[in-house]
């Protein structure tokens, strides 16, 4: 190094920068300091637990060089974000291992997902199965034990790197780099750490060749030894870019945790989730089916689940009529012109089903109910005195989902939404949102479901003036605060047509499901030129709220099946009481009991099969009937019943009146 170059480097290092910590305090560091240097200065314990950084709201490697006035949070293993670093890094370790076990494998992408990660591979002449996962895991463990360092490699000449990818046969990485080459692209390499004894590994510069590298933005953990516990879970198929016309890929799913205890707890949850899988329980209890003859993603509700659905719809209907909603019904199809006016053909056409021309007109199956409710509102001129107008419908809609994305009741092509739209004045907006929040709480309390709320604000690409967005966002915030509902702020994630509140449901296993949504819409009132007559006689534009509580009956029912593990609450059970005679001579007394229960509208069935009582109890238990009444000679003599609860077991002998009172 020349004297002047040395002098310039010393000058840079002698400068002082100030970084801002989460509590608002500042720390002075020398220029070129990294997040690792910051953690070390704060405490040795913090350095030990450090995984990465959050700099100005963006995640970054621990060794990222800090700049003056950066807002820096050090991510430790106690922070939820640390799992993103861990799992993303473990996905790279998986990819490295797969290419060592299968040299012909080509790599694509490997994102973090809830509770884990996956990586997609193109592997000619090889079909992976779960039996192949142990040998891949063994290679991953060797990489972990080697203590390889993750280091960022700046791509200075993307075009040269694309050529190199193509020469290596990594066509997928070449395609990705071609797409993102203008965005300061980087690679991450796995490097052997410097040897403390000196020698070949002493040089820590990036001139060393990596053991393996991958095109990636990062961020990552510092060393593979930080991966304490991981497990590969399953293998499935996928398509490049999710396009069925592209290459067929093989996807490996996995999970990673910072301790073996956390991994074991997660695997137990997975085992319980598999036991509760609504598709598996459906086969056991004959709840629903799909049929190739009809088409994938179209649900056939069998009697037991159809009964549950009918009870939910009755509850929904009564609740909405009691809360000022008017029920409507709308068609399943409409001419293309309607969807052009609403904007669906411009923004949503790939998800819509088209029909052949009818009377020389093109019709489309409806993917949403909102334009139909708009037409109902617009069919009459309304005064401000009539507002708010609340229209609600259990409306079946149709959306094209890729066949690979279909999943039982949770992801389908035809589903029923508990859709409602509120047309109100700006001054009524807060009260209407508060009323919807109250309604949501009533519904979820009925099903014993916990929930949380997120407020999503204006995205970069949006319609409407900032003043309108200010009004709408402030109204949603005020409604949340008046309702006493804690919420998380999800900045920039609102719809292009307005801000929204999303509700996340938590099931018995702690899993999160998308629940209700409340959305303010500036788009449709503009497109359909909706008006109402104001108090001064002028025509004004109404505020429109989209609102769903269940979301879709199909997905909500999938949640209920898994949450209750098929043991539905008493009010949702098609069979509430199973009356089990020990022999035929007990049948007459069983009929008396059934009639007494029927008068109270309790749904009871007598099992008159020529089976032993043990088999009858077992079958009723498998069917998850809430109560079983065992009737024999003793019960007849004492004018009592022997009661069993599907969860608590034998409740003992009691009179029919006492049992009825307990049901009340």
Report d(CA 71, CA 73) in Å as an integer. Answer: 7
Does 599 lie in the same domain as 512?
no
Active site residue 370: yes
Among the candidates 76, 106, 132, a domain finishes at: 76
What is residue 4's predicted lDDT score, i.e. its pLDDT? Answer: 45
Look at residues 513, 440, 526 and name the one whose alpha carbon lies nearest to residue 483.
440
Active site residue 344: no
Report d(CA 121, CA 249) in Å as an integer. Answer: 5
Does residue 5 register a pLDDT over 50? Answer: no
Out of 161, 226, 417, 428, the active site residue is 417
- The answer to the question of residue 569 being in a domain is no
Residue 26 tokens, joined? 């500042």
Burial of 488 (0-12, 13-18, 19+ CB in 10 A): exposed
| Residue 413's pLDDT band (cuts 50, 70, 90) | very high
Give the end-to-end CA distance of the chain in Å, rounded to a whole number: 89
Angle at 240 between CA 234 and CA 241, to 5 degrees: 110
Q: Counting runs of H as helices and runs of E as strands, what totals does the chain give? A: 21, 33
Rg (CA), the chain: 31
Q: Which helix (DSSP H) or strand (DSSP E) does residue 275 occupy?
A: helix 260-276
Report d(CA 549, CA 103) in Å as an integer. Answer: 50
Does residue 11 register a pLDDT over 70? Answer: no
Active site residue 417: yes
What is residue 205's predicted lDDT score, i.e. its pLDDT? Answer: 46
On whether the CB atoms of residues 72 and 38 are closer than 8 A, the answer is yes
Does 590 lie in the same domain as 553?
no
pLDDT digits (tens, 9 = 90+) for 326-348: 999 999 999 999 998 988 888 78
- The answer to the question of residue 86 being in a domain is yes
Residue 197 tokens, joined? 């004894």
- Per-position b or e across 163-195, b if 16+ CB within 10 A of its CB: eebeeeebebbbbbbeeeeeeebebbbbbeebe
- Rounded to 5 degrees, φ, ψ at 215 are -70, 120
- Per-position b or e across 537-553, b if 16+ CB within 10 A of its CB: eeebebbbbbbbbbbbb
Does 348 lie in the same domain as 303?
no
Q: What's the chain's length in residues?
A: 664
Look at residues 337, 394, 346 and name the one whose alpha carbon lies nearest to residue 371.
337
Does 540 lie in the same domain as 426?
yes
* Residue span of the structural domain in which 341 resides: 331-365
- The answer to the question of residue 361 being in a domain is yes
- List, as one string, the DSSP characters of 391-449: EEEEEEEE----GGG-BTTTB-SEEEEEEEEEEE-GGGHHHHHHHHHHHHHHHHHHTT-
Q: How many CA atoms lie within 13 A of 576 on its CB side?
A: 17
Report d(CA 272, CA 652) in Å as an integer. Answer: 31
Give percent of the chain with pLDDT exceeding 90. 76
pLDDT digits (tens, 9 = 90+) for 31-58: 899 999 999 999 989 999 999 999 999 9
What are the distances in angstroms from CA 46 to CA 26, 51, 94, 367, 476? 17, 10, 29, 51, 39
- The answer to the question of residue 283 being in a domain is no
- The answer to the question of residue 286 being in a domain is no
- The answer to the question of residue 282 being in a domain is no
Does 319 lie in the same domain as 225?
no
Does 72 lie in the same domain as 8?
yes
Instruction: Report, as an integer, the average pLDDT of 11-15.
Output: 59
What is residue 195's predicted lDDT score, i.e. its pLDDT? Answer: 64
What is residue 14's predicted lDDT score, i.e. its pLDDT? Answer: 58
Does residue 324 register a pLDDT over 90? Answer: yes
Give percent of the chain with pLDDT exceeding 70. 96
Among the candidates 541, 563, 585, a domain finishes at: 563
Does residue 199 register a pLDDT over 60? Answer: no
What is residue 197's predicted lDDT score, i.e. its pLDDT? Answer: 54
What is residue 192's predicted lDDT score, i.e. its pLDDT? Answer: 87
Q: How far is CA 127 from the centre of its chain?
A: 29
- The answer to the question of residue 491 being in a domain is yes
CATH number of the structural domain spanning residue 552? 3.30.930.10
Out of 70, 214, 419, 502, the active site residue is 419
Residue 144 tokens, joined? 């972990």
Does residue 262 register a pLDDT over 70? Answer: yes
Instruction: Report, as an integer, the average pLDDT of 582-593.
Output: 93
Does 388 lie in the same domain as 531?
yes
Active site residue 399: yes
pLDDT digits (tens, 9 = 90+) for 139-164: 999 999 999 999 999 899 999 999 99
pLDDT digits (tens, 9 = 90+) for 421-434: 999 999 999 999 99
Does 556 lie in the same domain as 581?
no
CATH number of the structural domain spanning residue 132? 3.30.980.10
What is the phi-psi region of residue 529: left when phi exceeds 0, alpha when psi lies from -120 to 50, beta otherwise? Answer: left
Bond from prior residue into 388 cis (ω within 30 degrees of 0): yes
Does residue 130 register a pLDDT over 90? Answer: yes
pTM over 0.75, yes/no:
yes
Does 457 lie in the same domain as 401?
yes
Look at residues 87, 105, 63 and name the one whose alpha carbon lies nearest to residue 212.
105
Largest CA distance in the chain: 110
CATH number of the structural domain spanning residue 599? 3.40.50.800
Does residue 9 register a pLDDT over 80? Answer: no
Q: For 416-538, where are the alpha helices, taking DSSP H only?
A: 429-446, 466-482, 523-527
Out of 500, 547, 555, 586, the active site residue is 500
Among the candidates 231, 248, 275, a domain finishes at: 275
Does residue 201 register a pLDDT over 60? Answer: no
| Residue 325's pLDDT band (cuts 50, 70, 90) | very high
Look at residues 318, 342, 514, 281 and name the one whose alpha carbon lies nearest to residue 415.
514
Other C-beta atoms closer than 10 Å to the C-beta of 531 total 15
What are the distances in angstroms from CA 574 to CA 281, 475, 565, 567, 617? 16, 42, 15, 11, 17
Does 300 lie in the same domain as 246?
no
Report d(CA 496, CA 488) in Å as an integer. Answer: 20
Domain count, the chain: 5
Q: What is the 3-state secondary structure (H, E, C) of 559-624?
A: HHHHHCCCCCCHHHCCCCEEEEECCHHHHHHHHHHHHHHHHCCCCEEECCCCCCHHHHHHHHHHCC
Q: What are residue 119's DSSP bridge partners?
A: 252
What is residue 7's predicted lDDT score, i.e. its pLDDT? Answer: 46
Out of 96, 216, 370, 424, the active site residue is 370
Q: For 298-428, where are the alpha helices, taking DSSP H only?
A: 303-322, 336-342, 344-347, 370-378
Report d(CA 195, CA 36) in Å as an integer. Answer: 20
Out of 546, 547, 640, 644, the active site residue is 546
Report d(CA 136, CA 233) in Å as an integer. Answer: 12
Residues 6+ apart with CB under 8 A from 664: none
On whether the CB atoms of residues 643 and 659 are closer than 8 A, the answer is yes
What is residue 100's predicted lDDT score, i.e. its pLDDT? Answer: 96
- Rounded to 5 degrees, φ, ψ at 424 are -145, 175
Query: Sign of dihedral through CA atoms 621, 622, 624, 629?
Result: negative
Does 125 lie in the same domain as 16?
no
What is residue 352's predicted lDDT score, i.e. its pLDDT? Answer: 87
Active site residue 366: no
167-176: long-range pairs with CB below 8 Å, 24+: 169/106, 170/106, 170/107, 171/106, 172/106, 172/107, 172/108, 172/109, 172/122, 172/240, 173/107, 173/108, 173/214, 173/215, 176/109, 176/215
* Mean pLDDT (the chain, rounded): 91
| Residue 210's pLDDT band (cuts 50, 70, 90) | confident
Does residue 12 register a pLDDT over 60? Answer: no
- The answer to the question of residue 254 being in a domain is yes
Does residue 196 register a pLDDT over 80? Answer: no
Does 197 lie in the same domain as 57?
no
Does residue 204 register a pLDDT over 80? Answer: no
Out of 220, 304, 421, 458, the active site residue is 421
Instruction: Report, as an integer, the average pLDDT of 308-320.
Output: 96
């Amino acid at each position: 190094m020349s004297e002047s170059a040395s002098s310039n480097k010393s000058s840079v290092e002698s400068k002082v920068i100030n970084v801002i910590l989460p509590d608002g305090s500042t720390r002075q560091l020398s220029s070129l300091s990294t997040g690792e240097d910051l953690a070390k200065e704060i405490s040795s314990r913090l350095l030990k637990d450090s995984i990465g950084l959050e700099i100005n709201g963006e995640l970054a490697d621990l060794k990222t060089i800090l700049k003056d006035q950066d807002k820096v949070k050090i991510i430790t293993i106690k922070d939820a974000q640390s799992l993103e670093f861990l799992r993303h890094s473990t996905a790279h370790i998986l990819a490295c291992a797969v290419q060592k076990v299968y040299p012909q494998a080509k790599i694509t992408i490997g994102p973090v997902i809830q509770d884990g990660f996956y990586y997609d591979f193109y592997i000619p002449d090889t079909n992976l199965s779960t039996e192949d996962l142990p040998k891949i895991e063994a290679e991953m463990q060797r990489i972990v034990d080697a203590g390889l360092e993750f280091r960022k490699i700046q791509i200075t000449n993307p075009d040269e790197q694309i050529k190199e990818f193509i020469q290596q046969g990594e066509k997928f990485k070449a395609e990705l780099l071609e797409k993102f080459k203008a965005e300061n692209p980087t690679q991450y390499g796995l490097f052997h750490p410097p040897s403390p004894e000196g020698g070949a590994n002493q040089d820590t510069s990036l001139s060393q060749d990596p053991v393996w590298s991958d095109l990636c933005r990062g961020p990552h953990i510092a060393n593979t030894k930080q991966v304490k516990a991981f497990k590969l879970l399953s293998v499935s198929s996928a398509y490049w870019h999710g396009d069925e016309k592209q290459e067929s890929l093989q996807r490996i799913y996995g999970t990673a945790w910072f301790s073996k205890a956390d991994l074991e707890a997660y695997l137990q949850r997975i085992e319980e989730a598999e036991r509760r899988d609504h598709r598996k329980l459906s086969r056991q209890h004959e709840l629903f089916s799909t049929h190739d003859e009809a088409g994938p993603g179209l649900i056939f509700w069998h009697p037991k689940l159809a009964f549950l659905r009918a009870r939910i719809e009755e509850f929904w209907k009564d609740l909405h009529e009691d809360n000022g909603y008017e029920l409507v019904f709308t068609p399943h199809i409409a001419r293309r012109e309607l969807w052009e006016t609403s904007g669906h053909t411009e923004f949503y056409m790939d998800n819509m089903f088209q029909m052949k021309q009818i009377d020389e007109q093109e019709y489309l199956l409806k993917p949403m109910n909102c334009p139909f409710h708009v037409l109902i509102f617009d069919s009459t001129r309304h005064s401000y005195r009539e507002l708010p107008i609340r229209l609600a419908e259990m409306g079946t809609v149709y959306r094209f989902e890729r066949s690979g994305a279909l999943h039982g009741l949770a992801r389908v092509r035809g589903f029923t939404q508990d859709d409602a739209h509120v047309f109100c004045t700006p001054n009524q907006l807060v009260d209407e949102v508060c009323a919807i929040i109250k309604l949501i709480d009533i519904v979820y309390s009925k099903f014993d479901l916990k929930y949380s709320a997120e407020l999503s604000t204006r995205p970069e690409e949006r319609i409407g003036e900032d003043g309108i967005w200010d009004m709408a966002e402030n109204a949603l915030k005020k409604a949340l605060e008046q309702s006493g509902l804690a919420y998380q702020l999800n900045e920039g994630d609102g719809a292009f047509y307005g801000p929204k509140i999303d509700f996340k449901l938590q099931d018995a296993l702690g899993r999160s499901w998308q629940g209700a949504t409340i959305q303010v819409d500036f788009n449709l009132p503009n497109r359909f030129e909706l008006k109402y007559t104001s108090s001064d006689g002028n025509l004004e534009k109404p505020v429109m709220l989209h609102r769903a509580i269940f979301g879709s009956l199909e997905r909500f029912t999938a949640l209920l099946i898994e949450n209750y593990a098929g043991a539905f609450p008493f009010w949702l059970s098609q069979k509430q009481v199973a009356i089990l005679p020990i022999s035929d001579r007990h049948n007459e007394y069983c009929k008396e009991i059934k009639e007494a229960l029927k008068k109270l509208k309790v749904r009871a069935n007598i099992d008159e099969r020529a089976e032993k009582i043990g088999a009858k109890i077992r079958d009723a238990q498998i069917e998850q009937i809430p109560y079983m009444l065992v009737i024999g000679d003793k019960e007849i003599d004492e004018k009592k019943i022997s009661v069993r609860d599907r969860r608590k077991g034998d409740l003992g002998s009691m009179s029919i009146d006492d049992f009825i009172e307990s049901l009340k």
